[in-house]
Structure 1
């Protein structure tokens, strides 16, 4: 089955010749009574790095493995440049994959690991050595060409795995939580390197992660999954500033929930009426979701709120404020301003004059 590719890549994305459009259409996969994917519809544009983000069990790795050919799906379509790849075996799908566990051959040197796929395709010895050395240069490890995996750090091994995945010049690069086994500093450096390489090469890339910081810092767009369904797919800035659902709002970044009451087609919260971004739930007690940087806070002798905690974050300090009903609210303020709000001191909270996101309070009967 061949279907025409759809739409152009997002602004700023520069695909290389040969990079692919990937589409999941109404994709469903169940393992017994557990539904891993429940009608996933998603398009990855040529040259785009799209992160699949969500909690464990949301279906993100299943989607990646189905695209790679390591899993089958129960229904729906997987298309690469409009072609249904369902019946194409994994080794012929022209996709490079990097795993969390590196998966290098322990008995082969870095050079031989990188050139292994080229050898399987019967590329001549000199040609594959030259190509492998070019890729080792690309990932910054030419000096490790003759080293074996046990002689390299985790970050170096993952760079070798990345070079190996790129050796066959795949149309699609698949990254399955490749940084989760590394320590924090190495993880930060390597995610910057992966992003730089991906942009330089212009290769269509799917990156699976449960780490929101990785997704937001690396991806052109982020697809947030929950229980096998797509909650929202958007640029990192849009996802953070305008989450489509309460789940996305709380999964991406920090959110506080503040009790509210209905007021016509809006809500009343902290003594003021606000318009709502979306619709107000018809039943159940409701709460407004707000990010720490969007809450105003000034000293106020005698309350009504009380500062009960402070976390120094450098230029910003995150205060925890308790409302009269015992609700805790996170507030980010410049550290100099936060110093004027001591622990135990009274304070007054305000929200910005713009539409707010509303959700039903947990346990309120819905």
Structure 2
């Protein structure tokens, strides 16, 4: 018998992956706009995570690709073929849901083989394929168990094996880990990534968990109000956000009030004059010499020094292991988050007066918002 996952023809077909394109997708539900002209291309064999706040359109985009939603306008293409009007059952897309959606009256092997049976594949062949897929997801010993006899993580592995059984052109994952506890989520996300890379299957993964998106994806597509804000590799998204929304939504970001420097292209912040990273709208404010702006900084970039004459004060501290996260209130009432080595945190107790300092490198600048500070994670 030829192994489903080592057959040369299968590997050649799956590892090239499929190209997925969203072209100008629009979808509204009454007065609510879920997709507002979405343009996105997923390259063959790539894993792209759709990330954003609730209601941003990420699940609608995935369901439109699956065929469960029809766009009001725009197109969905797979390998250049317009599938916008193709019914869901003819799109050859494997989908894994948050709720597992296993048949409770079927064993694990029969759940995996269900799609093969509906496709008219003979019993011996479909059971052989299902057995190979159970081996692939590390659950061959669970073949005869029913869903209620398995843990949530095991059920999700079975759902993943079922989605792969028909050798789909694309794999769609709709928050598949959100119902699991933290340790199982960590293990299973590593397993999903390993399988996706092994098979080379083009994958779209919807999640609200930033850590999942940044750790698993080749690229992360950040959405807001039905629009694509930025799609980039995780490191680029974190270090070089294209918009203020991305900067503040991905990770933790604080705002520190600053003023345009004496020379174009610099800002005066925390007692230093620093060059400006020109990716955000506030860079134009600095270049135009308009004065008040906000500098956006990550917690690891903020240096905190005890200073009895300092105008800022520590108002909170959270132990994170090797680092301790401090909340520092500025003189104007805004707050800044700073990560410091835990072994030095004892010299920076809550209530201490401190001075903040930023490293000597270009900073992100945005238009002044309200009374200075605040951060989002």
Check whether TM > 0.5. Answer: yes
Aligned pairs, number: 351
Separation of aligned partners in 2, 1:74 and 1:212: 29
Whether 1:321 aligns to 2:319 is no
Separation of aligned partners in 1, 2:41 and 2:205: 14
Separation of aligned partners in 1, 2:57 and 2:335: 32
Which residue matches 1:6?
none
Shift of 1:267: 2.4
Which residue matches 2:305?
298
Which residue matches 2:354?
347
Which residue matches 2:147?
149
Separation of aligned partners in 2, 1:229 and 1:358: 23
Between 1:305-314 and 1:192-201, the stretch displaced more is 305-314
Paired residue secondary structure (2:309): coil
Shift of 1:15: 8.7
Shift of 1:301: 2.3
Paired residue secondary structure (2:276): coil
How is 1:33-112 mapped onto 2 (pairs within 5 angstroms)?
A: 33-112=31-110
Whether 1:243 aligns to 2:250 is no
Which residue matches 1:10?
none
Paired residue secondary structure (1:307): strand
Shift of 1:360: 2.8
Separation of aligned partners in 1, 2:16 and 2:44: 9
Which residue matches 1:173?
171
Which residue matches 1:21?
19
CA RMSD of aligned residues (A): 1.8
Separation of aligned partners in 2, 1:309 and 1:125: 63
Shift of 1:148: 1.1
CA deviations on 1:253-282 (whole Å, 9 max, x unpaired) are 111111122334432222222222222347
Separation of aligned partners in 1, 2:153 and 2:22: 31
Separation of aligned partners in 2, 1:80 and 1:176: 19
Paired residue secondary structure (1:108): coil
Between 1:295-304 and 1:54-63, the stretch displaced more is 295-304
Shift of 1:307: 2.1
CA deviations on 1:140-176 (whole Å, 9 max, x unpaired) are 1111111111111111111110000000011100000
Separation of aligned partners in 1, 2:311 and 2:257: 15
Runs of 4+ in 1 over 4 A off after TM superposition: 282-285
Shift of 1:362: 3.6
Whether 1:208 aligns to 2:202 is no
Separation of aligned partners in 1, 2:318 and 2:31: 44
Paired residue secondary structure (1:71): coil
How is 1:183-332 mapped onto 2 (pairs within 5 angstroms)?
A: 183-263=181-261, 264-278=264-278, 279-281=283-285, 286-332=293-339
Separation of aligned partners in 2, 1:243 and 1:276: 14
The alignment's TM-score, normalised by the length of structure 1, stands at: 0.92
The alignment's TM-score, normalised by the length of structure 2, stands at: 0.89
Distance 1:86 1:214, change over 3 A: same
Shift of 1:220: 0.7
Separation of aligned partners in 2, 1:162 and 1:262: 53
Q: 5+ unaligned residues in a row in structure 1: which ranges?
A: 1-13
Separation of aligned partners in 2, 1:254 and 1:109: 44
